[in-house]
């Protein structure tokens, strides 16, 4: 499968500082007094699509997603000799980090509501349906993604300095296997992220500054607010449309 890079990204050869992404979120969580584990069938519709390294439960008005953040697809970042290792694609500049199991807990509103738009942090801003964390459009120090993109594997992921594998761009493993209009994941504010096209198969032209709009999805034919991945910044989301929950790990 070919790697899809934004056409405006210069093919720089230096990848030194750019291989290090922002660290984990400063957000913390308070342990709940009780947690009710729901079966997938009892969860809100989008969460029934989660699997891979993620497990989902509901605690009152919050969805709790626990993930080890290990992707369900091959990557050079598994390391030579491991079961899911694959050789780098031509031109890929493998960074020095490797995929390692994480312990991450997301607490997300089960019924997201619009709020004043707020900036996304460095580190996890959401989680994909396969349990891989989603990052925003910046490299370390909130610098634009440029030569760092050359370190992405063929599914548009790579690990941070703490070996936390993540996607900044369209997760090509998910859109190739599930479809360009399929659910990609959810952000910390509880609003879902879909692929590059809407339910009608068209690229949305009315996305707001957060990279979202109100429209029909496969999970909500009546229309809801949701984000779309795009080939240009902010790629996944430029801001939170709702009040974000927390992530700890």
Mean pLDDT in each 10-residue stretch from start to end of the chain (249 residues)? 38 35 39 40 89 97 98 98 97 98 98 97 98 97 94 98 98 97 98 97 96 96 97 98 97
CA dist., res. 194 & res. 124, Å (int): 17
Buried b (16+ CB within 10 A) or exposed e, 234-244: bbbbbbbbbeb
- State the virtual CA torsion across 18, 191, 234, 51 in degrees, nearest 10: 40
pLDDT at 155: 98
- Domain coordinates in residue numbering, the chain: 27-248
């Amino acid at each position: 499968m070919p790697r899809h890079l934004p056409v405006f990204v210069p093919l720089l050869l230096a990848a030194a500082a750019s291989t290090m992404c922002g660290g984990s979120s400063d957000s913390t969580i308070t342990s709940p007094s009780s947690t009710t584990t729901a079966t997938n069938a009892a969860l809100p519709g989008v969460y029934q699509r989660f699997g891979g390294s993620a497990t989902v439960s509901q605690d009152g008005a919050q969805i709790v997603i626990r993930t080890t953040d290990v992707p369900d697809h091959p990557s050079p970042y598994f390391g030579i000799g491991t079961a899911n290792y694959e050789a780098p694609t031509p031109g890929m500049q493998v960074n020095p980090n490797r995929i390692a199991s994480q312990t991450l807990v997301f607490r997300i509103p089960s019924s997201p509501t619009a709020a004043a738009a707020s900036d996304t942090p460095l580190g996890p801003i959401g989680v994909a349906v396969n349990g891989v964390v989603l990052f925003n459009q910046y490299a370390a120090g909130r610098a634009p993604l440029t030569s760092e993109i050359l370190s992405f594997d063929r599914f548009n992921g790579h690990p941070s300095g703490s070996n936390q594998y993540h996607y900044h761009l369209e997760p090509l493993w998910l859109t190739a296997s599930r479809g360009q209009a399929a659910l990609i994941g959810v952000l910390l504010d509880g609003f879902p992220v879909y692929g590059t096209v809407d339910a009608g198969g068209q690229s949305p032209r009315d996305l707001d500054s957060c990279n979202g709009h109100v429209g029909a999805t496969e999970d909500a034919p009546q229309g809801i607010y949701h984000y779309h991945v795009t080939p240009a910044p902010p790629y996944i989301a430029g801001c939170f449309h709702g009040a974000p929950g927390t992530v700890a790990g």
